[in-house]
Amino acid sequence: MSDAPEGPMKVLVYSDDANTREQIRLAIGRRPAADLPAVEFVEIATQPAVVERLDRGDIDVVVVDGEARPAGGLGVARQAKDEVYDCPPILAIIARRDDGWLATWSRADAVVALPLDPMAVAKAVADLMRWRADNRLPAL
């Protein structure tokens, strides 16, 4: 990564289940890789709140729970990719590897299946953080 951001990078974690959000946060950790800045988590439990927060433009990576209710994370991911200007990269957490086709439909940039492997989650988020830092659109 050529120009590492000065401050923390914001990772939005979407799930209606507080326990799932906690598991995702713990899997990512405070700094998923030594070459990256610290992570600041933004936990959100509803689809309207995700849309509102993404519209602000200050999120670097999004992690969605494919099993969230009533709005599933994969649908939220697809909506974000369709509607958010300079949409941050999205990691989809899916319940079954066979749901990979749904993650493709959602246009998620990375996918990890349950049960959560902390190493896989941290690596996926680190890769998306690097991608975001290198490909952020310039401010208008």
pLDDT in tens, 118-136: 999 999 999 999 999 998 6
Say if residue 1's pLDDT is above 50.
no
> Residue 80: in which H helix or E strand, if any?
helix 73-83
CATH of domain 9-135: 3.40.50.2300
pLDDT exceeds 60 at position 137: no
pLDDT at 2: 42
pTM score of the predicted model: 0.92
pLDDT tens, residue by residue, 37-89: 999 999 999 999 999 999 999 999 999 999 999 999 999 999 999 999 999 99
Kindly give, in sequence order, each residue whose CB lies less than 8 Å from that of residue 121, ignoring residues fewer than 6 positions away.
24, 27, 28, 63, 91, 93, 112
User: Domain spans of the chain?
Assistant: 9-135
The residue among 39, 84, 47, 48 whose CA lies nearest residue 64 is: 47
